[in-house]
Chain A
């Protein structure tokens, strides 16, 4: 039974984009515009001994740490990244100064004549090296039940280690940002997910009061987490430059620069010790999660939190001992990326259960199903699964659509089928929502209603979905509901566009406001309704002990992947990928299918072809020729379906969706490859070279 709200409508932003009329930041015109180019560290770890500048022509500027009016640190969870380097550099690509001026050729000329003398120090380059030192940014721990006792009484103990590599967001639009002063107010425009994050960073670095800064999001050509915290840094760069030059300043990265210096998905190692009882069921897990955070901690603590709180996936494991550490290395900082730490641990846990089952000669799906969470069960952090879990229904549909049970038993070598089961905690981790207390305003003016929210459209369909929630609630036409790209001077802070929270949390507030507006519609021609986030009172969370409900609710899913491996070249072809999801009630089915397919494609990329390996602290893949993302030839046919499971606190019953598909695809592909070769897959990406090695191992 499809809900009315789920019926697809045309995306409101698609016409301008198809016609090439959508203006991104690089397409925006300013009068008297100057451009900025960043001079970056060429060394992974060094003291800066001297910087020698050529003669700077009139109208050109060098902008560095000495020009910053406020703090030389980018404000985020841990505000440790310098806006411009001080006396040392900690990674290749770290910003040192800007060259600013009108003509880009002259800027390049100045750039090429700047001489920086470094005193190099021994860098810490890999997670392996870092683990042997005390270079730990963050060390978290939580447990559940009595893991020591469970391991003592275990019939068998199994140990496994899993690892994953870097991933670049590769949004098609590289980072771009511009700033100018208008009537004494600093205006910043750019491609970003979180205008209020940028504003917060600017307040500290520019030392300006709240009413002297406005951040306006421009049409954003993809982000995936890569434009979550990172634009706070570039916003500060162009703002310092516009203050010094007294002219508008724009900075557009080219692809190589974007790849070298922007945040990445954390490379990881996840180690497991599993205690099995006499029925071979898992009674306890000891999980050790290691993330490479790069040179600065930044947002990494909260990424690690989601990583460790997702570490038992969709399974009810009675006894747990979980540790998570962020390690410092002299490499580009890791940061937010779709899935936010969960893809690494979910991959580990899915493959752990798959490997144990395979060793025992049990079907891996059947083995996983013995451990499934259900309503009322405790979560890994001893909170509760408050809602109905429809995994049985999801699995039934996924296996039926793919003929899984037949194929798993009859596949020939080099042909494989594999399944993954997964969930994603919806919205912020722990107390996150109550720290932001997001606010929205609905303004009525005659027949028209305006949404005032800070959530951005970055390709995911937020504008269509949020307007649709309001229009359908008020029972008015989409045309009568307007939304403009957020301007912090015009909209309240409804929180950042992250954590798959936009539809559920911001959409939920809009739904409540629209219901009230509907009741009061005839009260006046023009009035506002505002709503602020209130935390459901059945949720409990202890942020010191990591105990309680880490998330209010979860979205769930199952993927079935079918693969074929060329026995000579070991080229991997993913033939088909089935995705069945419970995202509550889909708000606009087609938009959601697009999110699911796009997330799967990105997950497949991370799992198979996206190789990014630094050597001596330098990324060896710094363009889209060397760093390969999936093309139309690499992506399989993806069949997507949804199981309805309305969530009481979501708008029209909706839960989270955007990150869920990313989490599921990699372990499904890895399980299928494992099935094709009859060998375990414990590392991503699974390149042809790795496959050949694995196939030829004894």
Chain B
């Protein structure tokens, strides 16, 4: 089918199988490799992008359902001030080890803070619960988000 959607703020007009995974569309057709495949079934969060400002697992989104939607990947989000605050927070807290889950966690952090600029620790944990990390044990990611909130005060 023919679909129109916004990818990183540009209008796209493409011909696509409606069952094609958004994950494959972004990685294979648009070369957006910040989007990672970790499980292919919506459990790990490595393939998360923003769809109309909210985090979604692209492995679970069929291309047919993105008509008219705004998709933002890390390739675009990294140009924002909000990203810079998250980047600083994560660097300072040691939130990154192997890095494979990190792009998804950055996007989930944006989604969480966009909805709730002042989350409690429990709310942060809940907001992160769709993103698996096997390296850090999460404590330093939570700390990174807290630091990002401080560094980016007023941005969310």
Interface residues of A (CB under 8 A from B): 8, 10-11, 13-24, 26-27, 169-174, 219-224, 254-256, 458-461, 590-591, 593-594, 597-602, 623-625, 629-633, 635, 637-638
Contacts and interface: CB of A to CB of B under 8 A. Distances in A.
Give the most central of B41, B98, B102, B128: most A CB within 10 Å: B98
B125 interface: yes
Contact of B140 (A24, A256, A593, A599): A593
A224 B136 CA distance: 12
B132 A629 contact: yes
B137 A172 contact: no
A222 B132 CA distance: 12
13 contacts: A10-B91, A14-B99, A15-B91, A17-B98, A18-B87, A22-B99, A221-B99, A222-B98, A222-B134, A593-B140, A600-B137, A624-B44, A635-B137
Contacts of A598: 97, 134-137
Contacts, number: 170
Contacts of B139: 597, 635, 637-638
B99 A219 contact: yes
Given A172-B101, A591-B94, A624-B39, A20 B137 contact: no
A66 B103 CA distance: 42
B137 A255 contact: no
Given A20-B33, A255-B44, 19 more contacts: A17-B98, A18-B99, A20-B103, A21-B34, A170-B132, A171-B100, A172-B101, A173-B100, A255-B39, A255-B40, A459-B99, A593-B94, A597-B138, A601-B138, A623-B41, A623-B43, A631-B132, A632-B141, A638-B139
Contacts of B34: 19-21
Nearest to A603: B137
A601 B100 contact: no
Contact of B128 (A18, A221, A632): A632
A594 B100 contact: no
Interface string B2-25: 000000000000000000000000
B96 A17 contact: yes
Give the most central of B125, B135, B136: most A CB within 10 Å: B135
B136 A597 contact: yes
Contacts of B98: 17, 171-173, 220-223, 458-459
B53 interface: no
B96 A254 contact: no
Given A594-B140, A623-B41, A632-B141, A173 B97 contact: no
* B-side interface mostly: loop
Nearest to B42: A625
B94 A632 contact: no
A270 B19 CA distance: 50
Contacts of A173: 36, 38, 98, 100
A27 B33 contact: yes
A268 to B, nearest CB: 22
B74 A19 contact: yes
Contacts of B124: 632
Contacts of B140: 590, 593-594, 597
Interface in B114-149: 124-126, 128-129, 131-142
A236 B42 CA distance: 31
B142 to A, nearest CB: 7
Nearest to A22: B99
A625 B45 CA distance: 12
B90 A172 contact: no
* A-side interface mostly: loop
A18 B91 CA distance: 8
Given A172-B44, A633-B126, A20 B134 contact: no
A11 B96 contact: yes
A20 B132 contact: no
B80 to A, nearest CB: 12
B134 A171 contact: yes
The 8 tightest CB contacts between A and B, nearest first, are: A20-B34, A459-B98, A17-B99, A221-B100, A601-B137, A597-B137, A27-B33, A20-B74
Contacts of A171: 98, 100, 134
A24 B36 contact: yes
A222 B135 contact: yes
A362 B112 CA distance: 49
Give the most central of B37, B101, B102: most A CB within 10 Å: B102
A597 B131 CA distance: 17
Contacts of B55: none
A169 to B, nearest CB: 8
A586 to B, nearest CB: 13
Give the most central of A8, A19, A170, A633: most B CB within 10 Å: A19
B28 to A, nearest CB: 9
A225 to B, nearest CB: 12
B81 interface: no
A600 B136 CA distance: 9
Contacts of A24: 36, 100
A623 B39 contact: yes
Contacts of A597: 136-140
Nearest to A459: B98
A19 to B, nearest CB: 5
A14 B86 CA distance: 12
Contacts of A13: 96, 99
Contacts of B142: 632
Given A624-B44, A632-B138, A633-B125, A23 B39 contact: no
B92 interface: yes
B72 interface: no
A18 B102 contact: yes
B153 interface: no
A8 B94 CA distance: 9
B38 A255 contact: yes
B126 to A, nearest CB: 7
Contact of B134 (A18, A27, A170): A170
B106 interface: yes
B46 A632 contact: no
Give the most central of B94, B126, B133, B137: most A CB within 10 Å: B137
Contacts of A632: 124-126, 128-129, 131, 138, 141-142
A21 B102 CA distance: 11
Nearest to A637: B139
Give the most central of A11, A591, A602: most B CB within 10 Å: A11
Contact of B137 (A23, A27, A254, A638): A638
Contact of B41 (A8, A20, A169, A624): A624
Interface in B36-71: 36-41, 43-44, 46
Contacts of A599: 137
Contacts of B38: 172-174, 255, 624
A590 B132 CA distance: 21
A356 B138 CA distance: 35
Nearest to B96: A14
B78 interface: yes
A220 B97 CA distance: 10
A602 B134 CA distance: 7
A24 B33 CA distance: 9
Give the most central of B35, B40, B97: most A CB within 10 Å: B97
A26 B24 CA distance: 12
Nearest to A588: B94
A623 B95 CA distance: 25
Given A171-B98, A593-B140, A633-B125, A10 B92 contact: yes
